[in-house]
Structure 1
């Protein structure tokens, strides 16, 4: 790839982030090196250190970026007023993000098992979903839509981690299931658990 003498800092940062995601689509985080990432760009190695301290910080930025996409899906459920459609919309959005980034999310999930910094970032990402789900369950419980005897926090934790594992496994390899099929599965599980299948 040709080397460009000058580069807009935002463009070069974006190029490195895209190269890191491309790498993680194909190989595990433990194999990711600065040289391996930079070989996928038109930049020289020193450009990496203008934006990132090391590969761990780069991975954290990838988690952060994916978190923004996933966070937008949380809002679909939290801010809506139509219970069934809000849930379907949120699950559809989650499934679409995983369909787009599944191998990368799997690589980051696996990296969390061996890298403390990545683990903390990944756990924080999942915790955002747990917190949002806890709020929604508590609100719907207060409104009489969910049984009063359901343990709000632990139910939220169980459902969200189930989603994380299921979505990661479903979309990390080809061929993966149709998005609508995944949406229907998640919707049926959540509504059965929380609303008695209503």
Structure 2
């Protein structure tokens, strides 16, 4: 009996929302808004109005809306990297590249408008630009490393410049995927995959590209 009041008090003081669940809810609300509005209109008030949380809960997880945007970039970036790993870590250039582009297309089908909104915001917001360009640079660096690995295996020949080739291919992907799958109506994802697969294999593997 003596322990009952303490137990009741503990239960009464337990937070209504689990911290991880609250963070997830805020991130999802931010993504929803970025599908509908430019980043400059995504305010803390607008985000929190889409959740079941009070405004102070926002600052438990994020300093400001810029950090929120950074976390959205990181979240989607993890998904994108999981897909590109199919080529980066694979040993079958033709099929692994196709699988990677199919994976990238699936991520853009889900998040394309959000990625496009963040890319557009990077042109006018220094903090968002820093985060977004850092994400793209990670893909450029990983691609350049893998090109050199493929050259060492004898699968890719001499290129004018490995780093610049990687930069050109990644920025081409970023713009094309954003245009094709970041707008409504979206392009046919299978066509998008075929176009990118053809560009990459012909650029890197040339006439020796496996079929």
Give me the TM-score of the superposition, normalised by structure 1: 0.94
| Matched residue, 1:46 | 56
- Pick aligned residue for 1:114 from 107, 124, 128: 124
| Matched residue, 2:7 | none
| Matched residue, 2:203 | 193
1:75 and 2:119 equivalent? no
Task: Provide the rounded CA distance (Å) in 1 between the counterparts of 2:160 and 2:104.
Answer: 25
Q: Which has the larger radius of gyration?
A: 2
Aligned length: 194
**What does residue range 19-58 of structure 1 map to in structure 2 within 5 Å?**
19-58=29-68
Gaps of 5+ in 1: none
| Matched residue, 1:17 | 27
| Matched residue, 1:66 | 76
- Pick aligned residue for 1:99 from 80, 99, 109: 109
| Matched residue, 2:170 | 160
Residue 150 (structure 1) shift: 3.2
- Pick aligned residue for 1:147 from 117, 132, 157: 157
| Matched residue, 1:132 | 142
Task: Provide the rounded CA distance (Å) in 2 between the counterparts of 1:194 and 1:45.
Answer: 50
Is the CA contact (8 Å cut-off) linking 1:74 and 1:132 kept in structure 2? no
Task: Provide the rounded CA distance (Å) in 2 between the counterparts of 1:85 and 1:154.
Answer: 24
Residue 145 (structure 1) shift: 2.0
1:180 and 2:190 equivalent? yes
Task: Provide the rounded CA distance (Å) in 1 between the counterparts of 2:123 and 2:100.
Answer: 27
Residue 167 (structure 1) shift: 0.3
Is the CA contact (8 Å cut-off) linking 2:84 and 2:101 kept in structure 1? no
Is the CA contact (8 Å cut-off) linking 2:26 and 2:51 kept in structure 1? yes
Instruction: Give the alignment's Cα RMSD to 1 decimal.
Output: 1.2
Residue 113 (structure 1) shift: 1.0
Give me the TM-score of the superposition, normalised by structure 2: 0.89
* Residues 14-49 of structure 1 deviation map (CA, whole Å, 9 limit, x = unaligned): 110000000001101011100010111111111111
SS in 2 for 1:146: coil
